[in-house]
Chain A
């Protein structure tokens, strides 16, 4: 087994997919010769050639739209959108077509494809490169949305996304691309979509997070452990479909929940989670569910990025509040 970073694990998943299945193709901007602006597709063009790893014109609607056509005609496209914030020119194709093709054709022509996009803040990227708009896609029926936070999960989840019959949006937290290395098996394996990951067991409060907020939240749990408060940390990982059982079971056990996400607060995925817990674990709750989120402001340019993103101090304060309630 090799020690890989998250982005290397993503690269490795695509290598495996291209090797095993001749119908898999990758398309996007700069994915070929350049190996992707973050190097997610590094080496794949050299190895698999121009018909399988395709540099496209700079046109997201065109990329997603042609990928839909490829998918219905027998290929399995993996689309790279360079940054999630640039998915919007292709949004029409994603929400009006990819997401509902199965329904509209009554199962005849499903848009079997993966859309990968780096997202989130924390790397001092230029304006509009750091949005976390996962909620827009989670709110779109017909799409699956997953977010890995470890190298192992990244490879397994991406392979699961590629073999999934439905369109899957695969969001990659840029902040974690090179944050840690981890043992990643060389062969193919899948981390099932629809399952959360329990990062850390605990008894007193459940902390829910995904993507780049997982390490922040885990660090807070460790801090509280020193003070005798035991936090269960869950990486939600699959934002749609949700692993309701794991989340609800945990909150029934602890009686308290803090939800952490980087996206703005209003109608964020956190709101959905809070509603779910309220519906299914109401009688077990001992405190109102707390949310730690980005503010309802445009994601700022990087000078104020740290003020926008939830940090350990804000998460810790929320834990204190739900415990003291």
Chain B
């Protein structure tokens, strides 16, 4: 067990819900509302996630990528960002997206196979999910570069998994960040599997964080199930980026509780014992809730009220997404180019005619 913990990285909040001495130091200055917000977001995100899996089983949304187990990594990192900051997620960051200001309805639309779900509200600098692995990593470096060239204080964050660190785009993105000293944060949620392939098949190094050294940027490994430690580490990285000290690679060690997507069966490649240990002993919500309760910041009654409130919000979003008007076939052509070339106007013609006849 001890050895496991060493591997897990910087930790402030232990699995039994007590703070380490450094944790005490980090905990004190955090404002009370934020302490509660950490938990509220994690709970809401988990409820959303569980609901989405059921919606998929009912055939109401398509294949879905669950995030259960990774809430602390997402909440802790996203709450350290501002509205001006750019976010480049993969397909599993629904939690980050919500915190950034993406309405639940939009997130659901995306998983209903509707491109409208890619578009955030005005002012939310959130990219659509990156489906090809690691491709968003250089984008984040580029957005950060632009901020730097324009003299703006915003930072950019790329979210990705451990598998992504094997792709060329990861190395190229980090290298640019090092060479041009960019205000970017590379946030790896090491959930220890890329679909079925374990972390030990992605790299022969013990950690992702140590790869930062090769690009002369800062690397940190943190317990990704410890929302307090993640928040602290991310805050530092953001601070450094904003003050011109360059990029950070953060490796948040976590675990996805369920399958890779709803089309996958994790039982084929993960030991039940291992999964049980992470789900039962290292759940990010349970651990943090113990701390909050011990500090008198959260109660059973508040839990019930918050759950009810989240569930209602989620159900409203489901209703809104399901009753959103279906796009006509001609929508295929809606945003392919700023001005549609004549050949595409011609291709669209029969569809428009059919739609008028209806």
Binding site for B on A (CB under 8 A): 29-30, 32-35, 37, 55-62, 85-86, 88-89, 124-129, 265-266, 295-298, 300-305, 307-308
Assess the B201–A124 pair: CB atoms within 8 A. Answer: no
Which of chain B's residues has its CB closest to A90's CB?
A: B168
Within 8 Å of chain A (Cβ to Cβ): is B304? no
Assess the B166–A30 pair: CB atoms within 8 A. Answer: no
Assess the B195–A30 pair: CB atoms within 8 A. Answer: yes
Taking CB atoms, residues of chain B closer than 8 Å to A127 are 129, 131
Binding site for A on B (CB under 8 A): 62-63, 91, 110, 112-115, 129, 131-133, 163-164, 166-169, 194-197, 201-203, 261, 263-264, 268-269, 326-327, 329, 331-333, 336, 343-344, 347-348, 351
15 additional contacts, CB 8 Å, given A33-B269, A296-B344? A29-B194, A29-B195, A37-B195, A37-B263, A37-B264, A57-B166, A57-B197, A58-B133, A58-B164, A58-B166, A61-B167, A129-B131, A266-B343, A301-B115, A304-B115
User: Known contacts being A34-B269, A300-B115, A301-B115, is A128 close to B332, with CB within 8 Å?
Assistant: no
30 CB-based A-B contacts, threshold 8 Å: A29-B194, A30-B195, A34-B195, A34-B196, A34-B268, A34-B269, A55-B197, A58-B164, A58-B166, A58-B202, A59-B166, A59-B167, A62-B168, A85-B132, A86-B133, A89-B169, A126-B131, A128-B131, A129-B131, A296-B343, A297-B332, A297-B344, A301-B114, A301-B115, A302-B62, A303-B114, A303-B115, A303-B327, A307-B329, A308-B332
Select one of B164, B197, B333 contacting A297, CB under 8 A: B333
Taking CB atoms, residues of chain B closer than 8 Å to A266 are 343
A43 to B46 CA separation, bound complex (whole angstroms): 35
| Shortest Cβ gap from B205 to chain A (Å) | 12
| Shortest Cβ gap from A262 to chain B (Å) | 14
Assess the B194–A58 pair: CB atoms within 8 A. Answer: yes
| Shortest Cβ gap from B187 to chain A (Å) | 17
Assess the A295–B333 pair: CB atoms within 8 A. Answer: yes
Assess the B131–A304 pair: CB atoms within 8 A. Answer: no
Classify the secondary structure of A's interface with B. loop
| Shortest Cβ gap from A32 to chain B (Å) | 8
A57 to B169 CA separation, bound complex (whole angstroms): 14
Which of chain B's residues has its CB closest to A54's CB?
A: B201
Total residue contacts A-B, CB cutoff 8 A: 111
Which of chain A's residues has its CB closest to B334's CB?
A: A297
Assess the A30–B197 pair: CB atoms within 8 A. Answer: yes
| Shortest Cβ gap from B223 to chain A (Å) | 24
Taking CB atoms, residues of chain A closer than 8 Å to B195 are 29-30, 34, 37
Taking CB atoms, residues of chain A closer than 8 Å to B112 are 303
Taking CB atoms, residues of chain B closer than 8 Å to A30 are 195-197
A125 to B91 CA separation, bound complex (whole angstroms): 13
A35 to B197 CA separation, bound complex (whole angstroms): 11
A32 to B164 CA separation, bound complex (whole angstroms): 19
Which of chain B's residues has its CB closest to A128's CB?
A: B131
Assess the B167–A124 pair: CB atoms within 8 A. Answer: no
Select one of A35, A61, A89, A295 contacting B344, CB under 8 A: A295
Q: What 7 A-B pairs have minimum CB-CB distances, sorted nearest first?
A: A302-B113, A34-B196, A307-B329, A57-B166, A58-B163, A303-B113, A59-B166
A127 to B111 CA separation, bound complex (whole angstroms): 9
Assess the B167–A304 pair: CB atoms within 8 A. Answer: no
A86 to B168 CA separation, bound complex (whole angstroms): 13
A308 to B163 CA separation, bound complex (whole angstroms): 32
A89 to B132 CA separation, bound complex (whole angstroms): 9
A96 to B281 CA separation, bound complex (whole angstroms): 50
User: Known contacts being A296-B343, A307-B329, is A88 close to B167, with CB within 8 Å?
Assistant: no
Assess the B336–A298 pair: CB atoms within 8 A. Answer: yes
A300 to B336 CA separation, bound complex (whole angstroms): 11
Assess the B344–A57 pair: CB atoms within 8 A. Answer: no
Taking CB atoms, residues of chain B closer than 8 Å to A86 are 132-133
Taking CB atoms, residues of chain A closer than 8 Å to B166 are 57-59, 62
Taking CB atoms, residues of chain B closer than 8 Å to A298 are 336
| Shortest Cβ gap from A16 to chain B (Å) | 24
Taking CB atoms, residues of chain A closer than 8 Å to B326 are 303
A265 to B110 CA separation, bound complex (whole angstroms): 26
A307 to B333 CA separation, bound complex (whole angstroms): 11
A303 to B113 CA separation, bound complex (whole angstroms): 5
Please indicate which of the listed interface residues A61, A126, A128, A296 has the most CB atoms of chain B within 10 Å of its own CB: A126
Which of chain B's residues has its CB closest to A306's CB?
A: B329
Assess the B167–A89 pair: CB atoms within 8 A. Answer: yes
Which of chain A's residues has its CB closest to B344's CB?
A: A296
Taking CB atoms, residues of chain B closer than 8 Å to A301 are 110, 113-115
Assess the A296–B331 pair: CB atoms within 8 A. Answer: no
User: Known contacts being A57-B203, A59-B167, A85-B132, is A304 close to B194, with CB within 8 Å?
Assistant: no
A233 to B347 CA separation, bound complex (whole angstroms): 25
Taking CB atoms, residues of chain B closer than 8 Å to A129 are 131
Which of chain B's residues has its CB closest to A62's CB?
A: B166
Assess the B336–A88 pair: CB atoms within 8 A. Answer: no
Taking CB atoms, residues of chain A closer than 8 Å to B131 are 85, 126-129
| Shortest Cβ gap from A288 to chain B (Å) | 15
Select one of B263, B331, B332, B347 contacting A265, CB under 8 A: B347
Taking CB atoms, residues of chain B closer than 8 Å to A295 are 332-333, 344, 347-348
A59 to B344 CA separation, bound complex (whole angstroms): 35
User: Known contacts being A57-B203, A303-B327, is A128 close to B132, with CB within 8 Å?
Assistant: yes
A232 to B163 CA separation, bound complex (whole angstroms): 48
A88 to B110 CA separation, bound complex (whole angstroms): 23
Assess the A57–B63 pair: CB atoms within 8 A. Answer: no
| Shortest Cβ gap from B236 to chain A (Å) | 29
Which of chain B's residues has its CB closest to A38's CB?
A: B263
| Shortest Cβ gap from A52 to chain B (Å) | 16
Assess the A307–B332 pair: CB atoms within 8 A. Answer: yes
Assess the A56–B201 pair: CB atoms within 8 A. Answer: yes
Taking CB atoms, residues of chain A closer than 8 Å to B63 are 124-126
Taking CB atoms, residues of chain B closer than 8 Å to A56 are 197, 201
| Shortest Cβ gap from B239 to chain A (Å) | 31
Taking CB atoms, residues of chain A closer than 8 Å to B348 are 295
Which of chain A's residues has its CB closest to B204's CB?
A: A57
Taking CB atoms, residues of chain B closer than 8 Å to A35 are 268
Which of chain B's residues has its CB closest to A302's CB?
A: B113
